[in-house]
Amino acid sequence: MSEQRIKLEYELRTETPFHISAGNAEGLYDRTVVKDHDGHLFIPGSSVKGVLRTEVRRLSEVWGIPSCGSSYGYKQCFKFNLCLVCNLFGSTFSGERLFFDDCRLTEEECQLFSTAPDGIPFAQTQVMTQIKINRLRGVVEEGHLFTSEYANAGLVFVSSITGKIDATGLVNGGTRFYPELVILLTGLKTINRIGSGRSRGHGRVVIKVIGLWVNGEKMNVNAQYRLLPEAVNALRERRTNDEVSG
């Protein structure tokens, strides 16, 4: 395998209100959502990375693609012969592989929100009143009524993923594809929730890849998706051969 430089641009659309905590209270809110220095909502790249890593690990297990135990906190890959998950997301020994930019509202979305006299955008969020349940007793905890700020549904964010991965280009039906990259694209497409409150239906999202480049060459995203079965088979065979040779 050789090192490939990739750039991936995607659009994230929220279908239900979501909450990614800023870690502090403000005004009437006990829990606020993250905003940038201009007061606009954003989704940290680390949040997308964490969810995507989980999805890629889940898919690799379903499809029988071997991986180490780094996602469970044990047995991580070293710098060479990395498993699929460590190749894409790095490990303690191999370092970061891909870099996830924060998801920012599109310019059109920013212009939709009016601006208050103090210059801070508003109408991006809503308040939800919640309670704390004692799970052992099955009753409401006394004195634990709180309010949370939630970002509204229907927002559109854009972001990108850049970096380097070890991958070998294959050709099928005249189309060049990279098995590791196909799995990454599929994992991104299957993400449907982000943030907290997912069990209550919050944080539902749809992600669409709008641009893909490998070593500066623009790739056909749909063609990569269509070659998912070939990508899975290639990764199964490659890992099996590595284990036999090792």
Tell me how far apart the alpha carbons of residues 46 and 98 are, in angstroms, rounded to a whole number. 11
With 0-12 / 13-18 / 19 or more C-beta atoms within 10 angstroms meaning exposed / middle / buried, residue 230 is middle
The answer to whether 184 and 56 are in contact (CB under 8 A) is yes
As given in the structure block, the two tokens for residue 208 are: 């669409």
Q: What tokens appear for 173 in the block?
A: 């039906």
Q: What is the pTM of this model?
A: 0.84
Tens digits of residue pLDDT in 55-93: 999 999 999 987 776 555 556 677 677 888 888 988 777
pLDDT digits (tens, 9 = 90+) for 11-53: 999 999 998 877 666 666 666 888 888 888 899 999 999 999 9
Is the predicted pLDDT of residue 245 greater than 50, yes or no? no
Tell me how crowded residue 223 is: count the other CB atoms within 10 A of its CB: 15
